């Protein structure tokens, strides 16, 4: 069966559709096609504006082996560049920090924060950058404009100067789409996440049809609990949702292709996925509170450290199964409409170049 035929099977109505072809998870050539057709042409979240608020502040997004450096100029303009020297392709920076110039550690070539250098008349290769509701996005190739539509709960939430209380960065030995698909369903809560199942039972979860680039879902919080954490209590955390909003629901949403968000009444989780190989994905997980919040962040951080470790383990095991030679596409479970919605976006994009 050709890839085109398999993608067309994904695009059938839910209930008739089949999952993505196994090659999408294990074939390096297919991964290269996804990078060219989907990842490089999409707006990819690289962090929050708070991280690059001051002149000279920079962050490095690990989009590929060298990455994209996003830097605030002395003129206060935010710019993004491929993180390679125009001379001999040496990576310029690592991590995050603050600088007067971008300096190549190999031959000492110095770049102003607008990407220009006085040496040999060369400049860094600039990529598109855009900021929305405090989040910073880059687009490496193409001319697709940023779609500003938001899920209603994110549009209403306080997303101003958030306080980041936790960050973890992990390299997960799994294809990026397995991580998104795992996020798009709660079918696995019972066997995998006893903590989540306790506060947000999977049987009550519903899928949100999407707005623009977003897909999402809602999960009611059980009676007797205020939020999802070790204690199930707000514990001094200020609410991120407006007065009169629904305080009894967790709202999850993914912005295609690689930003995952989970809005609780009192905090926001984000997961930024950076696909690096067909079976390797860097995941940057951030936890944000309202800046006026008090109390112990560990009530939230310890809870999600456990959940994230559980997800990492099952996704890595699933990747091994995909690579075993025994995996074949099949029908979706009746509760996996959110997974199908994501897979259909992938298939629709790839059909343009499918053999």
d(C-alpha 129, C-alpha 302), whole Å: 33
Question: pLDDT tens for residues 23-62?
Answer: 999 999 999 999 999 999 999 999 999 999 999 999 999 9
Residue range(s) defining the domain that contains residue 114: 44-139
Q: Model-level pTM?
A: 0.96
Do 106 and 255 belong to one domain? no
**Which one of 139, 171, 189 terminates a domain?**
139
Do 82 and 156 belong to one domain? no
Do 86 and 174 belong to one domain? no
Q: What is the predicted pLDDT for the residue at 121?
A: 83
d(C-alpha 161, C-alpha 125), whole Å: 30
For 333, counting Cβ atoms within 10 Å of its Cβ (0-12 exposed, 13-18 middle, 19+ buried), the class is exposed
Token couple for 120: 């040999």
Residues 254 and 216 sit within 8 Å (Cβ to Cβ): yes
d(C-alpha 322, C-alpha 26), whole Å: 7
- What domain count does the chain have? 2
Q: What is the predicted pLDDT for the residue at 39?
A: 98
Do 327 and 303 belong to one domain? yes
Q: What is the predicted pLDDT for the residue at 2?
A: 84
Q: What is the predicted pLDDT for the residue at 211?
A: 77
Do 107 and 159 belong to one domain? no
For 330, counting Cβ atoms within 10 Å of its Cβ (0-12 exposed, 13-18 middle, 19+ buried), the class is exposed
Do 331 and 182 belong to one domain? yes
pLDDT range class, residue 210, cuts 50, 70, 90:
confident
Do 76 and 158 belong to one domain? no
């Amino acid at each position: 069966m050709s890839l085109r035929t398999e993608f067309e099977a994904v695009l059938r109505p839910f209930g008739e559709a089949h999952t993505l072809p196994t090659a999408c998870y294990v074939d390096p050539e297919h991964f290269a096609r996804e990078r060219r057709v989907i990842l490089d042409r999409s707006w990819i979240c690289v962090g929050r504006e708070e991280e690059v608020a001051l002149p000279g502040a920079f962050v490095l997004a690990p989009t590929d082996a060298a990455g994209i450096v996003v830097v605030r100029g002395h003129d206060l303009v935010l710019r993004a560049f491929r993180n390679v020297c125009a001379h001999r392709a040496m990576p310029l920076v690592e991590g995050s920090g603050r600088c007067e110039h971008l300096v190549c550690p190999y031959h000492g070539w110095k770049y102003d924060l607008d990407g220009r250098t006085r040496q040999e008349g060369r400049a860094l290769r600039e990529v598109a950058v855009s900021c929305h509701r405090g989040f910073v996005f880059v687009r490496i190739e193409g001319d697709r404009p940023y779609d500003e539509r938001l899920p209603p709960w994110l549009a209403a939430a306080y997303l101003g100067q958030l306080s980041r209380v936790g960050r973890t960065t992990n390299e997960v030995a799994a294809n990026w789409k397995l991580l998104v698909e795992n996020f798009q369903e709660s079918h696995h809560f019972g066997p995998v996440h006893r903590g989540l199942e306790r506060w947000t039972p999977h049987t009550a979860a519903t899928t949100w049809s999407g707005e623009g680039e977003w897909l999402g879902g809602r999960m009611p919080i059980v009676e007797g609990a205020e939020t999802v954490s070790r204690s199930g209590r707000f514990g001094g955390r200020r609410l991120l949702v407006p007065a009169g909003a629904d305080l009894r629901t967790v709202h999850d949403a993914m912005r295609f292709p690689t930003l995952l968000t989970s809005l609780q009444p009192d905090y926001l989780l984000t997961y930024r996925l950076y696909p690096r190989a067909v079976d390797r994905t860097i995941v940057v997980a951030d936890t944000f509170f309202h800046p006026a919040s008090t109390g112990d962040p560990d009530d939230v951080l310890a809870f999600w450290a456990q959940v994230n470790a559980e997800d990492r383990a099952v996704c890595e095991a699933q990747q091994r199964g995909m690579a075993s030679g025994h995996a074949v596409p099949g029908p979706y479970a009746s509760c996996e409409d959110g997974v199908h919605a994501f897979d259909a976006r992938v298939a629709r994009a790839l059909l343009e170049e499918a053999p």
